Amino acid sequence: MEQLLQEMEDYAVQQHIPIINVRGREMFLHVVRECRPHHVLEIGTAIGYSTLLIAMNAAANVHITTFELDEARAQIAESYLQRSAYAQCIDIRIGNAGEELCKLAGSFDFVFIDAAKGQYVDYFHKILPLLSNNAVVLADNVLFRGYVLGDGKPPRRYRTIVKRLREYIELVGHMPGFVTDIYENGDGLAVSRRIEHDKQA
Task: Name the site residues for ligand SAM (rule: CB under 6 A).
Answer: 18-20, 44, 46, 49-50, 67-70, 73, 96-98, 114-116
Closer residue to ligand SAM (CB): 79 or 200: 79
Specify the residue, 71 or 181, whose C-beta has the smaller distance to ligand SAM: 71
What is the nearest approach in angstroms of ligand SAM to the Cβ of residue 51?
7
Contacts of 1 (CB under 8 A, 6+ apart): 52, 56, 84, 85
Distance between CA atoms of 181 and 142, rounded to whole angstroms?
Answer: 11
Name the residue nearer to ligand SAM (CB basis): 87 or 179.
87
The distance of closest approach from Cβ of residue 140 to ligand SAM in the complex, given in angstroms and rounded to an integer, is 7
68/109 with CB nearer ligand SAM: 68
Residue partners of 16: CB distance under 8 A and separation at least 6: none
Q: How far is the CB of 181 from ligand SAM (least distance, A)?
A: 20
CB 151 to ligand SAM: min, Å: 26
Beta strands 39-43; 189-194: pairing state? unpaired
Q: What is the DSSP string of 156-176?
A: GGGHHHHHHHHHHHHHHHT-T
Q: Which is nearer to ligand SAM, 115 or 137 (CB)?
A: 115
- 3-class secondary-structure state, position 201: coil
Residue 25 CB burial class (10 angstroms; 0-12, 13-18, ≥19)? middle
Give least dist CB 158 to ligand SAM, A.
Answer: 16
SS3 assignment, position 59: coil
SS3 state of residue 61: coil
CB of 116 to ligand SAM, least distance (A): 4
Which one, 46 or 136, has the nearer CB to ligand SAM?
46
